[in-house]
Amino acid sequence: MEPLHSSKQAAAIPERDGQSLARLAREAIVEALGGLACERSSAPDFDNPRASFVTLTLDGKLRGCVGSLAPPASQVEGIIHNAQAAAFEDARFDPLRREELPRLTVEVSLLSPLQPIACTDEGDLLRQLQPGGDGLVLDLEGQRAVFLPQVWTELPEPRAFLAALKRKAGWPTTFWSPRIRAWTFTVDAWREEPPHVPDEAGFLYPARHWQRLEDGRFRCNVCPHRCALREGQQGRCVVRQRIGDRMVLTTYGRTSGFCVDPIEKKPLNHFFPGSAVLSFGTVGCNLSCRFCQNWNLSRSRDLGLLRDRATPEAIAERARHQGCRSVAFTYNEPATSLEFVSDVAEACHAQGIATVAVTAGYLEDAARRDFFTHLDAVNVDLKAFSDYFYRRVVGGSLEPVLDTLRYLVHETKVWTEITCLLIPGLNDSDDEIRRLTHWIASDLGVEVPLHFSAFHPDHRMLDLPPTPRSTLIRARDLAREAGLHYVYTGNVRDLEGGTTRCPGCGRAVIQRDGYRLLDLNLQEDGTCGHCGTQISGVFTSRGQVPHFTA
């Protein structure tokens, strides 16, 4: 999905918002065909909406184009109306069929205000036109025709461009009247290409956790969205798709690249401290966080971003060759690619390499048990302790995440740490932090490490300030008041906030400066080097020290 050239005026709409409008247009068409409802709440709406057109092409040929020259009351509703009208009400074409969706390109154009042209004749109009840049409106006593600037790519010669527009208006190509009125405009436009799903080398991998419904749709049971899909449709996560009579994972064996990180960057402070981890991700996520800092991967529909291809065995070998003690599934939501995760984990374990994941934990029970069975450690991103926040800001609900944390801590041997990103004015109140930390202490145990991380403006939350360092320190103090033993701060420079202290004697057992270890005073069995108190975590290859309950 690429932003197109904007003539005359600089783009007034941020690229990410334009891309979201193009995605909204596709989702509106999917909704009209009986698929998932489009995500109106996550689409950008503007105080000053602009007139818009939605253009559809199928295999490079025009399939529908509908719009308005007047700004709508709501940008979102205007795009939805034009998209559905282009798909089903353009009189030049039959209504769009469901089977055409996988090949459909959707383009959204936002128009600048119309600028009238004072012209004495056709030659005068042609002299004032800017080929390649101007859209053109012609009107004669209510009989009107419009060409978007994109038409210049098909008709680059001005006289041919104008002649075609006159034919569109129902006039002879040689016709001209002094009563004809003309306006020009420019556009900002974004195109969403059809999802490219190469069925080669096994990349369309059979998916687990789905069922066939009585109405013929396939329901994905990986997460609580439970997307019900018809032929060609993708789930909200983008990477799970129905193709023919099967449900597939489209990202198996493909990654956005590899990076060797310190394990503390995940963040995991009690799992092989100071060790190296091979990190990689794919694309796709089953949540739509307005503050996502990896939105270009998590919300992308472009599998072209997955430049690297690797088998599970090759990933395990790469980690071993680079001296990594573990492999991390990160950058996007790994649970949406659980089939790939499980195979990579099996290959890593065969090489004596551990596996960890950074996840939002938004899963159904069966998929939850399948996914975490293959992991040794996990950091769960607990977005807030408010269902309202989850529904309005994240696009999910809180309780499934709490169920995931209870399951991990009480029913598995997966080492678990929690991260909460504090966003000013949204989830950083003393009351919410107290409720969050008391729940962890009472439901999970005081030994579960908690990381408070600083928010930085990104994606759809560019209007909020970064989280002050003082907010993280206050949150850490409140968590310790709740009895939590291991509480950390992240995304800020805070030496004390990165230090692991012994709950027995209070002395530092691990000191960190950001992701760098300064001092480690632990015995091989994970006990404090000062007083012998057991520190909860995984510190040696001999096994995991279990969680303690409050």
Percent of the chain at pLDDT exceeding 90: 66
pLDDT at 159 over 70: yes
pLDDT at 304 over 60: no
Question: Quick one: pLDDT at residue 36?
Answer: 63
Same domain, 372 and 358: yes
Q: What is the pTM of this model?
A: 0.65
Of the pLDDT bands very low, low, confident and very high (cuts 50, 70, 90), residue 542 is: very low
Same domain, 343 and 440: yes
Q: What is the mean pLDDT of residues 124-138?
A: 92
Mean predicted lDDT score pLDDT of the chain: 88
Same domain, 243 and 261: no
User: Which tens digits make up the pLDDT trace of 486-526?
Assistant: 999 998 888 999 999 999 999 999 999 888 888 899 988 89
Same domain, 368 and 416: yes
Of the pLDDT bands very low, low, confident and very high (cuts 50, 70, 90), residue 209 is: very high
Same domain, 245 and 258: no
CATH number at residue 431: 3.20.20.70
Sign (positive/negative) of CA torsion 300, 302, 305, 310? positive
Question: Quick one: pLDDT at residue 10?
Answer: 36
pLDDT at 230 over 70: yes
User: Which tens digits make up the pLDDT trace of 402-412?
Assistant: 999 999 999 99
Question: Quick one: pLDDT at residue 268?
Answer: 96
pLDDT at 423 over 50: yes
277 lies in some domain: yes
197 lies in some domain: no
Same domain, 188 and 76: yes
User: Which tens digits make up the pLDDT trace of 320-335?
Assistant: 999 999 999 998 999 9
Of the pLDDT bands very low, low, confident and very high (cuts 50, 70, 90), residue 544 is: very low
Strands (E), 263-403: 276-280, 308-309, 326-329, 354-359, 377-381
The Cα 193–Cα 301 span in angstroms is 9
pLDDT at 295 over 70: no
70 lies in some domain: yes
200 lies in some domain: no
Same domain, 239 and 258: no
Please provide residue 140's backbone torsions phi and psi, each rounded to the nearest 5 degrees. Answer: -135, 100
Same domain, 391 and 463: yes
Question: Quick one: pLDDT at residue 375?
Answer: 96
The Cα 177–Cα 158 span in angstroms is 18
Here the tokens at position 287 are 């949540």
pLDDT at 198 over 50: no
199 lies in some domain: no
Of the pLDDT bands very low, low, confident and very high (cuts 50, 70, 90), residue 206 is: confident
The Cα 80–Cα 96 span in angstroms is 15
Percent of the chain at pLDDT exceeding 70: 91
CATH number at residue 67: 3.30.700.20
Which residue in 292, 331, 318 sits closest to 458, CA to CA? 292
Of the pLDDT bands very low, low, confident and very high (cuts 50, 70, 90), residue 244 is: confident
**Can you give the residue range of the structural domain that contains 325?**
254-545
Same domain, 376 and 516: yes
Contact 52, 66 (CB under 8 A): no
User: Which tens digits make up the pLDDT trace of 437-454?
Assistant: 999 999 999 999 999 999
pLDDT at 5 over 60: no
Question: Quick one: pLDDT at residue 458?
Answer: 78
Question: Quick one: pLDDT at residue 547?
Answer: 35
Q: What is the mean pLDDT of residues 194-214?
A: 71
Same domain, 214 and 238: yes
Helix ranges (DSSP H) in 351-482: 365-373, 387-389, 399-411, 430-439, 469-481
